[in-house]
Amino acid sequence: MLIVRKIQEMQSLANDFRKEKKIGFVPTMGFLHEGHLSLVRRSKEMADLTVVSIFVNPIQFGPNEDFERYPRDFERDRTLLEKENVDVLFYPQIEEMYPEGYRTYVKVTEIEDYLCGRTRKGHFQGVATVVAKLFNIVKPHFAFFGEKDYQQLKIIERMVKDLNMDVTIVACPTVREEDGLAMSSRNSYLSPDERRKALNIYGALKRVQSLFMEGEKNVAKLVEEARRFLASVEGLEIEYISIVDCETLKDLEFVEESGLLAIACWIGKTRLIDNIVLRRDKR
Ligand code: PAF
């Protein structure tokens, strides 16, 4: 596996690759888990060559967020990626990505204001900006994103469409631990007791899903059920429980065919998100 740290080197490699090969790209912030590796495996299936980036992007963290303590373990990540036969690891430093005088940002309006955007001001602008830069550096034909970060996925899809970027976005399903907890690098912050409490997020999603499958369409009632479910978990603080349109992310009043049920909550000092698409079986 080639490790590339400089933008120019990555760009000239990408130019050479593109002459004959389809490039698949998995952008990450490192501290890899099975969720990331599932994106890598999808890329290996679809593309001739897979590039993974590891970059903890400072501009997508707010001033009081966890940029400093975000988990990092380069050697472990490198070993995992080598085992997956990744071709190139792009691993730039902050000064390489945002040199002195950096001034340009990408903002996808409206979609970024809902769900996590209500509390994480500037987060999605930071994400869209770094992903746009990475696309210009890695020049992929395909880029892989997990549905766990559903709003991020929709923002990237919108950006690619609006800015006519020549890349296909491939959405990949959320990978869960055996007991249902969605995989996240931030799970490493949880104590065993917090980990146990975190499992209730998936419990609430499943509870609402079965109520929906029984015929309940009213969003207020569905959300109330999730609130009731989570209220009994000591030390769990709900940030939001929303049911929104799967494309626009606007709040729904009733779920007819489909809707995205999304939850964000705090367990101690850890913020966790998860979601599930509620879809009526058309059979
Ligand atoms: O999902 C992530 O890990 C990050 O938001 C991403 C897409 C790598 C951009 O920094």
Per-residue pLDDT of the chain (283 residues; tens, 9 = 90+): 999 999 999 999 999 999 999 999 999 999 999 999 999 999 999 999 999 999 999 999 999 999 999 999 999 999 999 999 999 999 999 999 999 999 999 999 999 999 999 999 999 999 999 999 999 999 999 999 999 999 999 999 999 999 999 999 999 999 999 999 999 999 999 999 999 999 999 999 999 999 999 999 999 999 999 999 999 999 999 999 999 999 999 999 999 999 999 999 999 999 999 999 999 876 5
Give the DSSP letter string of 198-211.
HHHHHHHHHHHHHH
- The domain spans of the chain are 2-172, 185-275
Q: Which residue's alpha carbon is at the smallest distance from atom 1 of ligand 1?
A: 28
Domain 2-172: CATH architecture, name and number where available: 3-Layer(aba) Sandwich (3.40)
30 C-alpha to ligand 1 centroid (Å) = 9
Q: Which residue's alpha carbon is at the smallest distance from atom 2 of ligand 1?
A: 28
Atom number of ligand 1 nearest to Cα 127: 9
Residues 6+ apart with CB under 8 A from 13: 2, 4, 88
| Ligand 1 pocket residues where CB is under 6 Å | 27-29, 57, 60, 127, 130-131, 149, 152
CATH of 185-275 given 3.30.1300.10, 3.30.450.20, 1.10.4160.10, 3.30.450.40: 3.30.1300.10
Q: Could you give the count of Cα atoms lying within 13 Å of 266 in the half-sphere of its Cβ?
A: 7
pLDDT of residue 280: 87
pLDDT of residue 283: 54
**Is the separation of the CB atoms in 39 and 84 below 8 Å?**
no
Q: Which residue's alpha carbon is at the smallest distance from atom 5 of ligand 1?
A: 127
pTM of this prediction?
Answer: 0.97
pLDDT of residue 282: 63
pLDDT of residue 231: 95
The rounded distance, in Å, linking the Cα atoms of 29 and 56 is: 5
- Cβ density class 20-47: b for 16+ within 10 Å, e for less: eeebbbbbbbbbbbebbbbbbbbbbeeb
